Amino acid sequence: MELMAEERKGNRLVGERSPYLLQHAYNPVDWYPWGEEAFAAAIDLDRPIFLSIGYSSCHWCHVMERESFEDLDVARLMNETFVNIKVDREERPDVDSLYMKVCQMMTGGGGWPLTIIMTPDRVPFWTGTYLPRFSKQGMTGMLELVPAVNKVWREERDDIKDVTVKVLEMLDSFERDPEEGDVSMLPLLALERLKEDYEPKYGGFDGERKFPSPHKLIFLMRYWREHHDQVALDMVIKTLDNMIKGGIRDHVGGGFHRYSTDPRWHLPHFEKMLYDQALILMALAEAYAITSKQEYRQAAEELIVYVEKRLTSPEGGFFSSEDADADGEEGSTYLWTYDELSSLLSAEDMVIFKELYGIWDSGNYRDEGTRMRSGKNVLHLTSFVAEHATKKGMDPVTLMAWDVDLRETMRSKRDQRPDPALDDKILTDWNGLMIVALCKAHRYLGSERAFRMAKQALTFLEERMVVDGELYHNSRIGHMGALSFLDDHACLAWAHLEMYFLTHEAKQLERVLVLTEQMINLFTDKEEGGLFMSREDPLLLVRIKDLYDGAAPSGNSIAYYILVQLAAMFNDARIVSVVEGSERHFLKELRVVPSSYAMFINGVLMKEMSKTLEIFGPGNFHIEGYHPHLLTTMAEHLEKGAVRQRPSYRLCLKGTCLPETEDLTEIKRMLK
């Protein structure tokens, strides 16, 4: 049974700012936000806690809400049995990361919506993900689960205690045993593992579902640059080619969807995340610098336009995501029936378009949940446009221009459809990643649009996300959320560092050093090494040190990547100590599956291969080509008195510097 919208009453989420929490503010479930009030209520009522974690653009979160959280029978059972807490994982990544790890350890899997049932003192005893209303396909339904949990809670509390004891033991196992050793062998180990995991037919490193994992591609390109391993570069090209051609790319509106539900990159899961746009743009920009493939440039430039149009706030910050659904239907914004396309295109154009984009009369798209054909089409290139033109005896330039014009016509038509919901909160860490990507787009693609957007966003973060010297993690409509996490400091420092390499403004480097100092003070584990994800928080069971580079790199990986660059530039003892502490703390797990920590391994490559180019005087500090490990800096920013009237240069490697020279040509020769 479900209430009509006008009959619904608001719950405790009505006053929240998160779009995800507000989506649940009128559920009949008596939701609490994460906080002391909820935990006190659980203790007072002697009830377990039902913790539900998701995010606003999550399709299966919406499905579970419609099936269960809006159902009066399910809500009544939940309200009688639990204290119910809703968490936006993007607002509280620390809470999400902790309980996701517990779920993975208890069940072997995870995902969102994440469902945790735990004691009032926040120790889980049951974990899962999406739950239907009724039991089906091996999944326990809410109408069966909730009464069963209630019975165990009332009658078999000792059994629950046994489970929680084991969970606490698992949480203790999160602590790592520091280990001395050499990290220089990790890039080769990571490469060997990626070669094993690589899927050669369509690229990528997954099985049935394909995630972009751009940080793995970036590692492979950088490994190729330093070690000339052609297989590493070939894996990147095959993967990017198929991503760009596939349905995971929005060929009409620009940008990329979150992942593909099939091995061919054809059938996307339709939400569009800011961090994916950032990381894929980084990979495309670096790949273009290596290959000069125009398809990479085009996909990158269209992605930038998409972010500017759909994910940029009026003040210049970047919004978080767009939903998979519109009007309650997954992918409806992006799919086309054959009749829609036939009415929009001329008969002649339709013949070419149908073959080029793999359009079927009956529809080529299968629903993710049912795997049944929907009668609609998702666009995916059967070959690159220029290749198709050559095969058909057409002029490539003419067909590429035709393709751009036709997709613009489709975009205008698609703009008349309902928009997917926008999560308009600002996250400092994801904004930092986007700024880094835009800086790389300017460096490698020469995009002035990207440079302008990067500067505006960086100004926004410094003016709006810093209050009285404190960095904040999130905001929405001018309202500040949680204080910063490790990822926020690391990503914002990275953004300033990339901007420094473009502009060589002293203020950018100074800000990097301030953010790094704050990061070290707030998050470093001085006893065991590594950096905690969050600040001290009495409501968290444990402070965790996350290393895994999932859909986005971890805070520890990005922090390490930043710190090794600063260590190369300044040789600061405290920075070096934090770098070495992270290596000792994480070395054991880095050795086991190094490919799972690709961003950290990028940091190891940077440490081993970085070169510092010090510029004296008014020199030309733009070095063309692909030099991902070259750190260009104004010498006067590193040492006092290093000012010259004539431009000169000094190249340094691992603390050893070559003689200063005015011959930039000689510098370029050595860099090759």
pLDDT > 70: what percent of the chain? 97
**What are the φ/ψ torsions at residue 134 (nearest 5 degrees)?**
-105, 150
Query: 58-72, 187-201, 366-380, 446-460: which range is least confident on average?
Result: 366-380
Among residues 214, 338, 186, the alpha carbon closest in space to that of 282 is found at 214
Residue-level pLDDT at 564: 98
Q: 34: left (phi > 0), else alpha (psi -120 to 50), else beta? A: beta
> What is the average per-residue pLDDT within 324-339?
91
Q: pLDDT class for 195, splitting at 50, 70, 90?
A: very high
Q: Is the pLDDT of residue 369 over 90?
A: no
Residue 3 has pLDDT above 60, yes or no: no
At position 259, the amino acid (one-letter code) is Y
Report in angstroms the alpha-carbon separations of 90 from 93, 341, 485.
6, 37, 11
| 488, two tokens | 């926020």
Looking at beta carbons, which pairs linking 479-483 to residues 24 or more positions away fall under 8 Å?
479/17, 481/17, 481/18, 481/91, 481/425, 482/91, 482/92, 483/535
- 648-653 and 31-33 beta bridge pairing: unpaired
Residues 6+ apart with CB under 8 A from 596: 548, 549
Q: In this structure, are strands 83-88 and 31-33 parallel, antiparallel, or unpaired?
A: parallel
Residue 6: predicted pLDDT: 47
> What's the distance, Cα to Cα, between the start and end of the chain in Å?
69
- Measured between alpha carbons, how far is 472 from 470 in angstroms, rounded to an integer? 6
pTM: 0.95
Task: Kindly state the average pLDDT of the residues 222-236.
Answer: 98
Q: Is the pLDDT of residue 214 over 70?
A: yes
Kindly give, in sequence order, each residue whose CB lies less than 8 Å from that of residue 396, ignoring residues fewer than 6 positions away: 385, 386, 389, 390
DSSP 636: G
pLDDT of residue 206: 81
Quote the pLDDT of residue 5. Answer: 47
Task: Report the distance separating Cα 227 and Cα 391, nearest Å.
Answer: 36
Q: Are 478 and 490 in contact (CB under 8 A)?
A: no
**pLDDT at residue 670 greater than cutoff 90:** no
Taking the CA atoms of residue 430, residue 303, residue 235 and residue 396 in that order, the dihedral angle to the nearest 10 degrees is -170
Place of tokens 């050093």: 513
d(CA 340, CA 349): 14
Mean pLDDT is lowest, of 121-125, 186-190, 581-585, 632-636, for: 632-636
Task: Give the position of tokens 């649009």.
Answer: 449
- Sequence-distant (6+) residues with CB within 8 A of 176 are 528, 530, 545, 585, 586, 588, 589
Higher-confidence residue: 68 or 368? 68
CB atoms within 10 A of CB 369: 11
Mean predicted confidence (pLDDT) in 431-449: 98
Q: What angle do CA 366, 368, 369 make, to 5 degrees?
A: 120
Count CA within 13 A, CB hemisphere, residue 57.
23
The mean per-residue pLDDT over the stretch 211-225 comes to 97
Q: Would you state the pLDDT for residue 641?
A: 65
502-512 core/surface letters (b: 16 or more CB in 10 A; e: else):
bebeeebbebb
**Could you tell me the pLDDT band of residue 642, with boundaries at 50, 70 and 90?**
low
Question: Residue 416 has which token pair?
Answer: 């008349």
Asked if pLDDT for residue 559 goes beyond 50, the answer is yes
Rounded to the nearest integer, the mean pLDDT of the chain is: 94
CA distance 662 to 498: 25
List CB contacts of 416: < 8 A, sequence separation 6 or more: none
Check if the beta carbon of residue 17 is closer than 8 Å to that of residue 481.
yes
Q: Which domains does the chain have, with CATH numbers?
A: 5-172 (3.40.30.10), 186-333+417-607 (1.50.10.10), 610-671 (no CATH)
Query: Mind listing the pLDDT tens digit for each residue in 471-483?
Result: 999 999 989 999 9
pLDDT tens track for 133-147: 999 988 899 999 999
Q: Show the beta-strand stretches assigned E in 49-99.
A: 49-54, 83-88
pLDDT digits (tens, 9 = 90+) for 393-439: 999 999 999 999 999 999 999 999 999 999 999 999 999 999 999 99
List beta partners, residue 117.
50, 126
Percent of the chain predicted with pLDDT > 90: 86
Question: Which DSSP string corresponds to 640-662?
Answer: TT---SS-EEEEEETTEEPPPBS
Structure tokens given for 471: 């960095």
Reply yes or no on whether the pLDDT at 66 is more than 50.
yes
pLDDT, mean of residues 319-348: 94
What is the per-residue pLDDT for 404? Answer: 97
